[in-house]
A = this chain, B = another copy of it.
Amino acid sequence: MLTRKQANEAQQRALAYLDRAEVVLSKAEKKNISVADFGLSDLEHQGAQILTFFNTERISAKVIVLFPWQILPEHWHPALREDVGKEEIFRVRWGELYLYVPGEPVPHPRAKVPEEEKNNFTVWHEIIMGPGNQYIVPPRTVHWFQAGPEGVVIDDYSSTARDLQDGFTNPRVIRETRVVDG
């Protein structure tokens, strides 16, 4: 749950990052940044600011802004009817990203996860990404990521996004963000 004030502030802050990363937006898009707290009501530590360019029945493109050390919680894109699961390519435009996928865990990860949340993060194979780096996450692959100290702006290319169907490791996650007056 977010207050309207929190959501508005996050939108404005995200706009400043998009501007810094030289992402060119239409006027309508600038008003259309969605702020996701994943139902955890702790946007500073876990959340994301997302601008969807388009989402057709085949392909989708978004830009994701994470503030410094903000985490997008561990999740996967399940198979749904004729869809084998969303394929997703991350490409960093600005800042630093720590991406975690299945594989050999790193002994000393860059990520900083709050102690009480560690159980909700199960994959620790680390990919450190800077501007111009990209990484393909196959369908149904568990993954999560965190911004580095300056925050990060990511181009997110994928097959059709059906965000509300995503699976999350943390049972407390609710993908739809509730915004309340205040």
Contacts and interface: CB of A to CB of B under 8 A. Distances in A.
Given A132-B25, A132-B29, A133-B26, A59 B158 contact: yes
Interface in A58-80: 58-59, 61
Interface stretch (A7-15, A34-42, A87-95): A87-95
Nearest to A138: B56
A26 B58 CA distance: 27
A5 to B, nearest CB: 28
A131 B136 CA distance: 27
Question: How many copies of this kind of chain does the complex include?
Answer: 2
A53 B159 contact: no
Nearest to A93: B24
Given A24-B132, A58-B159, A61-B157, 19 more contacts: A22-B22, A24-B92, A24-B131, A26-B132, A26-B133, A29-B132, A53-B134, A53-B157, A54-B89, A56-B87, A56-B89, A56-B136, A58-B59, A58-B87, A59-B87, A59-B89, A59-B158, A61-B91, A157-B157
